[in-house]
Chains A and B, each alone.
Chain A
Amino acid sequence: MVVTSQDNHTTAVTPPSGAVAATAAPSRRTTGSRRSRFAQRTAPTRSRAARRMDLPFALLLILPAVAGFAIFYAYPTFRGVYLSFTDFHVLTPPTWTGLANFRELVHDGVFWHSLGVTAYFVVLSVVFGTLISLVTAVVLHRVTRSTTLRGVILLPFLISNVIAALVWQWMLDPELGIVDIALKHLTGHSIMFLGSGGWAIPSLAAISVWKWMGYYALLIFAGLQTIPPTIYEAGRVDGASEVQMFRRLTVPLLRPILAMVVVLTVINAFQVFDIVAVTTEGGPANASNVLQEYIYRKAFRQFDFGYAATMSLALFALLVAVTFTQLRLSRANESDLS
């Protein structure tokens, strides 16, 4: 269908129907003058005709994407909302229970504990992640253009969370881990990084920062490249120190990028799962039982899908709220660069 309509349309415009667009670029050069004459004569009628022809073809092209959106994004979103009002254990159809899940949620101590643990993880990984990425990006930007160095920093981003978690768990091992041995050597003390209630979340946050730092640093680096160097020259002329220029020039001019990085880290951190699932599985004694881990265990260990959906909905609402607040507070879309 599409093919025929397109053929009609092409024959109407140009006589040599065999001529293909395969060599579009050269043909543009060789037929330059002819083209402009043609274009002027045929443009208005052609474009209106083409617009009509475009629709079926466009629909065909977007069909897979629209299907994917409908089946795997729109439908599950609504279904997720629906399931959160039901009692659902996968094998039997869901039964409507109204607000029962939400009532359970309010009184579920483990949920609130998980929320606290997740928030703790978010704060640690966002604060340290953003700070270290920012400093790294700025230092990189000031002293070198080396793509290799930027590449090296990006390396942890390319490996999976699972591998990052495995190698750090090995390095933090309380008996044979190199970090622990070095620590014992230096301070005489040993720390149960992933095995103690107090250190589990900070250790996980450190692994997460290690994994993502390079990625965010490069995002910030790209932002730095949009700041015209003349501004720094001007700052230097005015006698500003590097630190002053960082605080008074870089940070304000970088605000949109920084806001984006913070929003991204927050959204990612709230959904942390892989590292926890591989290393601590929420332990010891729920000390690292982040929300995703709890949701996963409710759904796939206890098969309480209705309640798991309710918690997912709560997490979703929380993410939306946090994102909007952040964008509001950070005035993300305004840069002082004008």
Chain B
Amino acid sequence: MAVTLAPGTAAAPGRPRPVTRRGPRRATPGRIVAWTYLGIVVLVTLFPFYWILRTALSNNYKLATHPSSPLPVGFTWGAFERALGIASTAQAQAQGGSGASLDIPLYLRNSLIYASVQTVLIVLFSAAAAYAFSRLHWRGRNLVFGVLISALMVPGVFTLLPNFVFVKDVGLNNTFAGLILPGGLFQAFTLFFLRQFMLGLSNEIEEAAIIDGAGPLRIFLRVVLPMSSAPIATVSLLMFVNAWNDYMWPLLVTNSPATEPLTLALGVFKQSSPQAAPDWAGLMAAALIAALPMLLLFIAFGRRIVNSIGFSGIK
């Protein structure tokens, strides 16, 4: 109600005032409070990341002597060496490692295969289907689309157990196929997102291509796909992050080092380390290595990721 009132009253006398106000707004108490608040938010957001680094560069035994030191305690690369399996067992135990090894390179490879193959598949198949649901005309198109999109309603929780049983029944547990396929063929969000974009493409270029003799396949590959490169990149990033961070599905379908992704290995590693004194330095080093690809992605595509969040939600 206040909203409908405001523009009307604003029309006549209001012009000069915002202009005069704008000058001194630089350092009003309100702005100071706002920036202080943002400072705290940023601090709370970033501090754990710093603490990962600080702990990972510490000697695990000496951590206990200076638990609140802001700098690494007894600086050493030992934790990274343990996490990467370079250190010998004796070396590891001397620095407070459990001696249990975590074969990070192997799990890193598994995570890479899982996340990248799934991303490529889901984006490819979603883009193909999105094209069929947006640019091609065929009977039943909207009905089929509506049925597929209904998958948005079913929470992941509910399909997890039956999917696990199915994957196990067809013998795909502990394989990359079992890990990748459930999320690699169809996800309602990617399909919906790409279709929305493709619906908005103008007809002209497509018509020009038709005049030039291109069939639907060529139009898809040479016109619509290139024109959709921005949303495709966005969706690829989001899917890659999701798959990289996935925990529960890998937990259900894999239990062999040959296929376990890094997130899972980290969780299990933590649980298997002795309850009394976990190797926090080693764990943090491993966590940092696991998070590194995401941090690199973030540095490379930060702006795109930030902007994509807005439009992933608002549609």
Contact = CB atoms under 8 A, between A and B. Distances in A.
Contacts of B245: 158-162
Interface in B137-165: 137-139, 141, 144, 147-148, 151, 153-163, 165
16 contacts: A14-B211, A46-B210, A47-B137, A68-B187, A69-B185, A149-B42, A158-B241, A158-B291, A167-B49, A168-B48, A170-B55, A173-B280, A219-B310, A238-B10, A274-B248, A281-B271
B217 to A, nearest CB: 6
Nearest to B265: A162
Contacts of B24: none
Given A166-B287, A167-B52, A319 B212 contact: no
A21 B222 contact: yes
The A interface, classified by DSSP as helix, strand, loop or mixed, is: helix
B306 A181 contact: no
A248 B163 contact: no
Given A83-B161, A143-B34, A170-B55, A35 B208 contact: yes
B46 to A, nearest CB: 7
Interface stretch (A102-110, A119-127, A186-194, A292-300): A292-300
Nearest to A83: B162
Interface size class of B (residues with CB under 8 A): 35 or more
Interface in B70-92: none
A112 interface: no
Contacts of A316: 154-155, 157-158
Given A14-B211, A160-B247, A319-B155, A231 B163 contact: no
Interface of A: 2-3, 6-7, 9-11, 13-14, 16-17, 19-22, 24-25, 27-28, 31, 35, 38-39, 46-47, 50-51, 53-55, 57-59, 61-62, 64-69, 71-77, 79-80, 83, 90, 132, 135-136, 139-140, 142-144, 147-156, 158-164, 166-168, 170-171, 173, 175-178, 181-182, 185, 210, 213-215, 218-219, 221-223, 225-226, 230-231, 233-238, 242, 248-249, 252-253, 257, 260-261, 267, 270-271, 273-274, 277-278, 281, 292, 295-296, 299-300, 305, 308-309, 312-313, 315-316, 319-320, 336-337
B132 interface: yes
Given A13-B213, A210-B48, A221-B310, 14 more contacts: A2-B217, A11-B213, A31-B211, A54-B138, A62-B133, A77-B158, A151-B306, A170-B51, A237-B13, A248-B3, A261-B313, A274-B248, A312-B157, A316-B155
B154 A73 contact: yes
A167 B51 contact: yes
Given A10-B214, A167-B52, A65 B186 contact: yes
Contacts of B298: 151, 155, 158
Interface string B177-204: 0000111111100010000000000001
A266 to B, nearest CB: 11
Contacts of A233: 10, 14, 18
Contact of B314 (A7, A159, A222): A222
A65 B185 contact: yes
B280 A231 contact: no
A237 B9 contact: yes
A58 B212 contact: no
A41 to B, nearest CB: 11
A19 B213 contact: yes
Contacts of B41: 132, 136, 153
